[in-house]
Amino acid sequence: MPALTARAERWALAQPFVISRGVKTEAEVVVAEITAGPHRGRGEAVPYPRYGETVGGVLAQIEDARGRIEAGAGRAGLQAILPAGAARNALDCALWDLAAKQAGVRAWTLAGRDRLDPVKTCFTISLGPVDAMAEAARANARRPMLKLKIGARDDLDAVAAVRAAAPRARLIVDANEALTFEELRRLAPDLARLGVMLVEQPLPAGQDGALEGYASPVPLCADESLHTRAELAACARIYSLINIKLDKAGGLTEALALAADARAAGLGLMVGCMVATSLAMAPAMIVAQGAEVVDLDGPLLLTRDREPGLSIQGSILEAPSPDLWG
């Protein structure tokens, strides 16, 4: 019979990570492990306060699910046991890892893929003084894509400074719900002029209705407004792309289904992450195959990564080894 354990871990960040909602200096993650005979599956998730989650609450959810997991509930059954969120993500990814090891194949094979290609991630520039954001962009100017956090009075100055510091990089801006519709309409033409390719979650979730019928000069991407397939139809009327994160979707199982439905609806895909280790990025790489934008830079923001972690060359993430996941 399977045996389930879960624990919390803290991973220090190389620099404070600043968005419009606040600052963090460490990644707090929950790791679930499911053991069956000689095989062990692992999954990592990040409890996110924006969605009412805490480390203690996620561990309690996993503990509540223990009996059914140890009784043999698999990935399909898990979807009915827990709601979408970090707890289900940790367990779902652990079950994928375990199933791959039991079958002697890679997880992407179970997901119907012949191979897992490397992916090219963007790199995040935290919200801060304009000079500091420009310096961070200059230090990472050779990366192919930069994502800068906005949500301050001098947003346009910051974007212009980042563009000047990294003239060849593709730029994404992420407001994390910090703008009003009027602010977006005012900023968008200048963002387009500065070569910004995407604006992520400009308005607060729940206020997206203001965007209906708005022809933005820069494509808009839903993040906080979309967690699972339940929100897809509403977002498809407003956004050009959606950001799929395993912690929001509640695991790889729902994320893959969401990606397929989004493609069928004509939406572009961004695959993102919370700040976490390579163990959290590895399953997301399956969803990221063919995505227009990949934002799996969590390990690049830490002082040290899990060992073994993903092999990362610059901004290129290679397929995980079986010792890491899948």
Catalytic residues: 149, 245
Structure-token pair, residue 254: 């729902």
- Residues with Cβ within 8 Å of 326's Cβ and at least 6 positions away in sequence, in order, are 96, 97, 100, 106, 107, 108, 282, 283, 286, 320
Query: Of 213, 284, 215, which is closest to residue 255 (Cα–Cα)?
Result: 284
Query: Of 313, 308, 312, 311, which is closest to residue 323 (Cα–Cα)?
Result: 308
Strand order in the sheet with 119-120: 119-120, 316-317, 312-313
Torsion of CA 188, 194, 197, 201, to 10 degrees: -40
Buried b (16+ CB within 10 A) or exposed e, 145-181: bbbbbbbbeebbebbbbbbebbeebbbbbbbbbbbee
Q: Beta-strand (E) ranges in the chain?
A: 3-19, 22-36, 39-45, 119-120, 123-125, 145-149, 170-174, 196-200, 220-222, 241-244, 268-271, 293-294, 312-313, 316-317
